[in-house]
Amino acid sequence: MTKRRVVITGIGAVTPLGLDAETTWKNIVAGKSGIGPLTRINADDFPAKVAAQINDFNPEEFMEKKEARKMDRFTQYAVAASIMAVKDSGLAIVDENAHRVGVWIGSGIGGMETFEQQFEVFQNRGYRRVSPFFVPMMIPDMAAGQVSIMLGAKGFNSCTVTACATGTNSIGDAFKVIQRGDADAMVTGGTEAPITKMAVAGFCANTALSTNPDPATASRPFDKNRDGFVMGEGAGIVVLEELEHAKARGAKIYAEVVGYAATGDAYHITAPAPGGEGGVRAMRMAIEDGGLNPEDIDYINAHGTSTDYNDKFETNAIKEVFGEHAYKLAVSSTKSMTGHLLGAAGGVEAIFTALAIRDSVLPPTINYETPDPECDLDYVVNQSRQGEIKAAISNSLGFGGHNATLAFKKYE
């Protein structure tokens, strides 16, 4: 069976660095940080003092106030990013094609804020005062559900929940839907709004979050003095389209998605497998799925969380997959600027990888000061640089031992 070719024709994002994809990307290329003091909840209650918050988002620019009130923040972000992505793609979703346009949007946690607020209502005032919208606001698939309703997209509709691999798995799964012929276009990515009391408490309790109180330097992937990730929020959504379908309507093409793989560590609930063994297999399989060789890859958007094990084992995995070529390709962690958007990370990082290919720019890993002898690759430290990218991969690794890799090519 001939695999149908799949391209990215639209992008949309809501991030700590901008309320749209191009503004976010401009700030990424400039090496600007979106991390600031933790203010959404009382930072005095937690050892973590900083976060990558979105402070000026207004959902009413994208939906009626009445509709916005029925959505948790994670769904609002997804709806906004999806509306922007579809507008950017120029794809008209009408009665004739609605059944061939699908939605696959994941969230690692879903409506945690709603859960906390409504539990408080239940404790203080009983079940009768709990919102009838509590369940549909909280469940992680509601981002995909609401986007489908808002856009009128009636095709393949799903939601992936694989912790921090969610966004990458979602795009990969949507890519396969188009590739095998079950849809002509998919609105896909990840969304997350985890800056809540319980989510921050949970990540502090398992010592995953940075306790560095300085927002400017708290997220420092691959640096010897890294001490944990910085919580972020937002959504990254792309429109994927079958190539001939996109060409027939004269769509602009950012990049081609050529490969995808997902693997399981079968090792530990939170720690990555030694040497990044699961990541090794995911990268190898995605590269092979894309009809590429390891030496074809010019750039890797790393998972790069700024935690001790992740950065070390991901570096090991890259060296295992690429051998000598590992030292010739560029690697960067844009989480140094966005923080870690959990289930949305793979969505925004897929956008960054596509834009890096479009603009021939290698985005930086900022806050890199002290080399770690165990992390010895070219991490594009502190400043972006020019460099043609013909092929690239983006990695995401999640609690539960989930590994996902997407492979992209410059569209020829």
User: Which residues participate in catalysis according to the annotation?
Assistant: 164
Phi-psi region of 342 (alpha: psi -120 to 50; beta: other; left: phi over 0): left
CA distances from 265 to 48, 161, 166, 371 (A): 29, 16, 16, 28
Taking alpha carbons only, the member of 383, 385, 386, 353 closest to residue 368 is 383
Non-local CB neighbours of 126 within 8 Å, separated by 6+ positions: none
Helix (H, G, I), strand (E, B) or coil at 54: coil
Which residue reads 């190539």 in tokens?
Answer: 243
The distance from CA 294 to its chain's CA centroid, rounded to whole angstroms, is 23
Question: Half-sphere exposure (CA, 13 Å, Cβ side) for 211?
Answer: 11
Burial level of 316, CB count in 10 A (0-12/13-18/19+)? buried
Contact indicator for 104, 144 with CB cutoff of 8 Å? yes
Contact indicator for 274, 265 with CB cutoff of 8 Å? no
